[in-house]
Amino acid sequence: MTPHEQYAARQAAREARVAALQRQSNQLSSARLSLAALALAMAWTAWYAHWFAPAWIALPALAFAAAVAAHRLAGARLAHASRQVEFYRRALARLEERWAGTGNRGTLFENDQHLYASDLDVFGEGGLFELLCAARTPMGARKLADWLLAPADRAEIERRHQEIADLAPRLDQRERIASFTADTTAATNPRALLEWTRERNGLEGSAARWFAVGLPAALLAALSCGLLLGLWTPAIALLLLEWGALYRFRAAISRVNTAVTGAYDAGGLRTLVALLRLIEREAFELPSLRALQAALSAHGRPASAALDRLASIASLAEASLGSTFVRWFLNVPLLLPLQIARSAERWRRDHAAHVEGWLEATARFEALSSLAQYRHEHPDDPFPEILPEPATFEAHGLGHPLLPANRCVRNDLALSSATPVVLVSGSNMSGKSTLLRAVGLNVVLAMAGAPVRARTLRLSVMTVGASIHVRDSLREGQSRFYAEILRLRRILSIPEAGSPLLFLLDEILQGTNSKDRRIGAEGLLRRLIDLGSVGLATTHDLALTQMPSLAGRVRHVHFGETLDAGQMHFDFTLREGVATRSNGLELMRAMGLRV
């Protein structure tokens, strides 16, 4: 069964369950109304018509309460099943190339100064991150983004291959994760939580402990005295003393409770707890995944149980801050803000040393699960072979991973120390920039440990440096040419620092005159080659194909096109040699310009 057939069958089954649960919910809703009406009718007949004893009203009242509970349970099941349906709808949209704009675009991770993220469409609508990301927590999304923004070492990449291959068939697991909440990511702020765990505990002194325990107990005794003897002065005095205690510790209480509710809302924590519980209970055979699992209970108690306790504390903190009833009637008599803050401080004392490890394990699992989902949905995309040799790239049937399969033209490409540069010439719109992005994105996938869009790919660990989407900046007073030079300087710093580089240079140095462009391009490519880098450069300026000092070190390839009845046709197939024609004048004439 193909992934598409599997997803379609499961979606149909989940939709049938949603329909059944919707009917059940409607029936229970009708039953609630009927029972409420019956209870009101019986109340009237009992008190005014005296047909029977009022005690009989308890029967429809209890039945109404049971119907309310059953309706709530059915509603929860309906929401859960609806999220499962949505999971498969989104999965089918990915397989049918309808996914752009429907997922997490990773806009929080965009950085115009990164050496390839914006050039290769890693983030944004229709970007690589949106295609891959299945994370439900911010740390999972951040971990995936980090993997796409920097290469891992060879051992780590090969470790991820094993883990992704193990997780890929676990569709039930991904469905359960997707059904935790309706939101694509839980409302969490892991950085704030970590900062809170590292702060100094401010409520562990004996004064705070005495006030928290002694004053509510004394108030209870005073209230009992008031009820029995009619003496209310001690209770009033104790209420004033409790108010003073809250005022005395207001700064420490505010720091703790604001930190807890600011780091995680209760719903976000519940989502994290459900995810951790799933990881803890999963049966893993792979040693590295079992080690990740073990990291969630390294201190003898499951991380899910500990964070579930923190979720309860967060719920109380939210209630103490947001509920009018709690603020007016419970906060002062029970010293509730102080009790909550002390509970949070005890939790921090017991678990602060482990929180960072829990979040890291969760983030890694979610990043792996995202790549495993991609692996499951693209079974024909292989894992690349990671070579120990420096700066090597050998691809057969290489395609662009963001293009629909019916529009993706595949090509072969090889880069090594023997032929470190491929210079791609060709007309406008012939496919030069798309080739650069196809190479770059596949290297990004390979360096993250993911499968690649190729029949085979062998490459060494490399950093990508791209100059494709370089723009001028009016605010910073930079021309496009100056911005490109700055980008090239940063790209050149990678091999100068000793890191293997794959460079992707689109229309190299096009912002200057033809003579300076040829001399500059030749010198830059020579310097990159001397530093052991490999890469591609494109141009539609045929003068750049004449670089005598690089003879034998540059392979010339090109894309071609045909003109038929005023229409340009491209096959996007890479051919050997330099392009022999351009299409600029033909395009201008086809658009009605007399040139």
Check whether residue 141 and residue 182 sit in a common domain: yes
| pLDDT of the residue at 429 | 74
At residue 457, the pLDDT reads 97
Residuewise pLDDT in 10s, the chain (595 residues) = 899 999 999 999 999 999 999 999 998 888 888 888 877 887 777 677 666 666 677 787 788 888 888 888 988 899 989 999 999 999 999 999 999 988 899 998 998 889 999 999 999 999 999 999 999 888 899 999 999 999 999 999 999 999 999 999 999 999 999 887 655 555 556 777 777 777 766 666 556 666 666 667 666 776 677 777 777 777 777 667 667 766 666 666 676 666 666 666 666 778 888 899 999 999 999 999 999 998 888 667 899 998 888 888 877 777 766 565 565 666 666 667 777 777 788 888 888 888 888 999 999 999 999 999 999 999 999 999 999 988 899 999 999 999 988 888 899 999 998 899 999 987 777 788 899 999 999 999 999 999 999 999 999 999 999 998 766 554 444 567 788 888 899 999 999 998 999 999 998 887 777 778 888 888 899 999 999 999 999 887 777 777 777 777 889 888 877 666 556 667 778 888 887 766 665 666 665 656 5
According to the 3-state scheme, what is the secondary structure of 119-155? CCCCCCCCCHHHHHCCCCCHHHHHHHHHHHHCCCCHH
Query: Is there a domain that residue 411 lies in?
Result: yes
Tell me if 221 is assigned to some domain: no
Establish if 287 belongs to a structural domain.
yes
Task: Determine the pLDDT at residue 386.
Answer: 97
449 token code pair:
């440990």
Distance in angstroms (rounded) separating the CA atoms of residues 276 and 230: 53
Predicted pLDDT of residue 493: 93
- CATH for 517: 3.40.50.300
**Phi and psi of 412, rounded to 5°?**
-100, 150
Q: Where are the alpha helices (DSSP H) in 45-137?
A: 58-95, 128-132
Measure the CA–CA gap between 337 and 344, rounded to whole angstroms: 10
pLDDT of 474 = 41
Q: Is there a single domain that holds both residue 483 and residue 516?
A: yes
Residues 514, 536 within the same domain: yes
On whether both 139 and 91 belong to a single domain, the answer is no
Same structural domain, 167 and 285? yes
CA dist list (Å): 377 to 88, 231, 363? 12, 74, 21
Is 128 domain-assigned? no
CA pair distance 498, 251, nearest whole angstrom:
51
CA dist 532 and 478 (Å) reads 30
Number of domains in the chain: 3
Predicted pLDDT at 169: 96
536/405 Cα distance (integer angstroms)? 24
Cβ atoms of residues 459 and 445 within 8 Å? no
Q: Which two tokens stand for residue 196?
A: 């809170």
Residues 82 and 155 occupy one common structural domain: no
Strand pairing report for 393-398 and 456-460: antiparallel
In a domain, 230, yes or no: no
In terms of C-beta density within 10 A (0-12 exposed, 13-18 middle, 19 or more buried), how is residue 247 classed? exposed
Whether residue 234 is contained in a domain is answered as no
What residues pair up with 556 in beta bridges, in sequence order? 423
Whole-prediction pTM: 0.86
Q: Are residues 359 and 428 in the same domain?
A: no
Give the range of the structural domain holding residue 304, as residue numbers without chain letter.
133-203+249-377
Written in H, E and C, the secondary structure of 365-423 is: HHHHHHHHHHHHHCCCCCCCEEECCCCCEEEEEECCCCCCHHHCCCEEEEECCCCCEEE
Residue 36 covered by a domain: yes
Same domain? For 155 and 296 the reply is yes
Instruction: Identify whether residues 322 and 469 lie together within a single domain.
Output: no
